Chains A and B, each alone.
Chain A
Amino acid sequence: MSRLLDETEGKEYFFMGNEAIARGALEAGLSVAAAYPGTPSSEIIDNLSRVAKARNLYVEWSVNEKVAVEVAAAASFAGLRSLTAMKQNGVNVASDFLLHLVGSGIRGGMVLISCDDPGALSSVNEGEARHFARLLEIPLLEPSDFQEAKDMTAWAFELSEELKTIVMVRSTTRLSHASGNVRLGKLKDLKRQALFRNQGAFLDSENGPLVSAPVIYKHRLQQERMKKAGEIFEASPFNSYVGPKEPELLLITSSSCFLYSREAVEIMGLAGRVGILKLATTWPLPVNLVKRRLARADKVLIVEEVIPFLEENVKVLAAECAGELGIKTFFGKREETLPSVGELNPDLVMAAIGKALGLEYQAISSDYEAKARELSLLFAPGREQTFCAGCPHRASFWSIHQALQLDGRKGFVCGDIGCYTMAMFPCGFSALKTLHSMGSGIGLAGGFGQLGQFGFDQPVLTVCGDSTFYHAAIPALINAVHHRAKILMIILDNSGTAMTGFQSHPGLSVNAMGEDSPPVDIARICEAIGAKVAYADPFDLEETGRALAGILEDEGQGTKVLILRQICALSPERKGKKRFEMKVDEDRCVSEACGCNRLCTRIFRCPGLMNDYAKGKAIIDEVICAGCGVCASICPTGAIERREVA
């Protein structure tokens, strides 16, 4: 039985933060969950999808985040409890619907989990979603550890239903992707029947239609809900204070920054001088609670990641109450006591406390540090990001790069979001020259494709993964075709959402719950839009090269699509199964002495290939090689041999 369904109340498990969030939702009696995968949020739905049948849930991987919130909202409108989860970028995508949702209000408890990624550990921006809580005027909860992740998710449903508004729970990578002890609570089955009541009066929020008009009236209702939320938060047991009655320095913090703060104070031995106000409810602020603590401290350090959200909100409060509280000295991001970019850790908090109190802290003895730094510079060469051994993207970008070099007109590739994003690095021969949000590759390419009248004649290519295609690329492709943009869109179809862990998407014949689903065919969509579609197997370098050259030479107008299809090397179907046994013929490989200038290891750079400098030969690392066979086509002397595995 899944650990998530253990009915033993009080039993402790070691859960990943995202698993704890999923359990919290189950303990609240969740019925529907919908999301689009994005690191670090994906495991919430992954976990829920595995117990969907056992708990009679409906769980889906939606086509994008906006649709996911809409699917979850419909369940709430019908009186069920629903959840949606996404990384910070997803909230941007969903924000248009969300701003209307707060106007219409909801019925069943509805929770939005935003998993932010401070430090952009697995993102291409360092945005965050807390400011949306302020813009949308919805309650914001920030758990700081694994137990709270579970307990506060469960509480968020109660709160949402009581206030009739969606509630945002904000996690970060260091909570979602970290793991720790979680004590189980009771699993709840609310046994609700879904019914959307809509026959009541226009303004009847329980039985009438759910619309965001009349706007001013609904906006005021939302603000009244927020007033009530603030009152509830004053008494929340998730907010706490540790430290002396009148601390020399008051830390105000939330999320895993609380754990960093507590550790920093402990290591510096300052428990008698520094107090920590941990806020788990960060919007709206529990005003009286914060005022009580501000009244007893003159120096205040706000510890948080990404934007100075808490810092600014506390400062506004302090300014409003300056007559009552006196003038405070604030430390935080705005005057650079803490860095304003990147994630925090205990050391950065120690440095900030040191600055605020005029103390020095040294983590490592300076001679050890100097020696360790010297040895690591000497002996620990960096590991640049690279495609896995056997990754179809390496083969695809090899062909794309070759084709653009041969073409010679300074052609380039507009990038998009997925594993193939890494083609901006040498592993993809630095082919990508633009990189932005999901679906932006084709949008930008379409724009470049209109610049002919200004003398622009560079070939424009864009790449897009299969999951990304459905998410946000279709409208931009329609735009390009309709406006006759002369561009080539290459769909790198590896048959899954590989980067986040092989979640299903509309192109596959299975859904999140493992049921058969009708696949929506990418080629047929492209053809219906009016693009000319061709196929090639990226592992067949000759075929792919010919297809690319043909399209680049074609002087005809219009948008073309080339689908390069090969399953991801790590996909459950392919992982660990070698198609070819690879071998280097040592008589033929002469490494440095060959005219190829070590093409296979110097340029192609598959991690499964190595160069034995002593012997002067290329060699295959049998532990890493995935047996795709592509390097055999790279070697100009045919020294790399492949033998089909029976």
Chain B
Amino acid sequence: MEKALLTKDPYNLIITGVGGQGNVLASRLLAGMLVRQGFRVTVGETFGVSQRGGSVMSHVRISANTVWSPQIPRGHADLVVTLEPIEAIRVLAAYGNRQVKVLTNTRPVYPAAVIAGQERYPAPAEIREAISGLSAAAWFIDATSLAMKLGNPILANIIMIGALAGLAALPLSRDGLTEIVKEMMTQDKLEANLQAFDLGLALMGKNVTADGRGE
């Protein structure tokens, strides 16, 4: 198969969010799709002790020929996909740079200290401004609400993969997702995942969610 060209090698993608949001699965599906096209992909995952509720971050490194390390060096992210908005800010502080692009699911998951009233969760406008101010391009999608309309909030991760495909920064397609879902998941999951992917892809196509500075 003819390998698509990368805009940069290695292309460094970070998928971040909170434990329980399907972050790890999203990174594996994405990487599986790219490996099937002949790329060398390394995914390093960082998650805390808790099964849920902690910050989770997957470093996805995509290259034509080289196995890169499972940790992206500081300041070297090309694109950040975040399933929880403030996690993008946390990630940008370590891995961001002026050229980075950010795709954000706007649904908050409040940290325990926020629920307890010891810390403040930023307002949507503050989050938008912070992410936009730290990136070259930023898109905001309420993927969790869309996923709930599809019947399951966990599908937000696949909506985000669809939106990522819509950005055309990486060679991701509906057929690619179909193949990898068949390889990694049970058959009954296929339809819902494709629906979610299409929804995310369509959002980017219409460009309704770009904040005005998108490409």
Give the B-binding residues of A (Cβ under 8 A).
Answer: 3, 12-14, 121-122, 145-147, 174-175, 177-181, 256, 259-260, 262-264, 267, 345-347, 350, 363-365, 368-369, 371-373, 375-376, 378-389, 419, 421-422, 426-427, 498-499, 570, 598, 601-603, 605, 607, 609-611, 621, 623-624
Contacts and interface: CB of A to CB of B under 8 A. Distances in A.
A400 to B, nearest CB: 19
B141 to A, nearest CB: 16
Nearest to A3: B183
B111 A368 contact: no
Interface of B: 18, 20, 28, 31-32, 35, 40-55, 67-71, 73-76, 86-87, 89-90, 92-93, 96-98, 107, 109-117, 119-122, 126-127, 130, 133-134, 144, 148, 153, 183
Given A381-B121, A388-B51, A365 B113 contact: no
B179 to A, nearest CB: 12
A386 B28 contact: no
Nearest to A259: B69
Given A375-B134, A607-B112, A611-B117, A364 B74 contact: yes
Contacts of B69: 174, 256, 259-260, 262-263, 345-346
Contact of B112 (A368, A378, A426): A426
B117 A363 contact: no
25 contacts: A14-B41, A121-B49, A179-B43, A180-B67, A181-B41, A256-B69, A259-B42, A345-B69, A347-B73, A347-B74, A363-B74, A368-B75, A371-B134, A379-B89, A380-B86, A381-B86, A383-B111, A384-B111, A385-B53, A386-B54, A388-B20, A388-B51, A598-B117, A605-B112, A607-B52
A363 B75 contact: yes
A367 to B, nearest CB: 10
Contacts of B87: 380
A385 B117 contact: no
Contacts of A598: 117
Contacts, number: 195
Which A-B residue pairs are the 6 nearest by beta carbons?
A: A259-B69, A364-B75, A178-B70, A376-B93, A381-B119, A363-B74
Given A381-B114, A623-B153, A375 B133 contact: yes
Contacts of A267: 73
B57 to A, nearest CB: 12
A146 B54 contact: no
Contacts of B67: 145-147, 180-181, 259
Contacts of A623: 107, 144, 148, 153
B74 A372 contact: no
A610 B50 CA distance: 20
A378 B86 CA distance: 10
A611 B93 CA distance: 28
B92 A256 contact: no
Nearest to B87: A380
A70 to B, nearest CB: 29
Nearest to B96: A372
B1 to A, nearest CB: 12
A174 B121 CA distance: 32
Nearest to B119: A381
Contacts of A179: 28, 31, 41-43
Contacts of B109: 607, 624
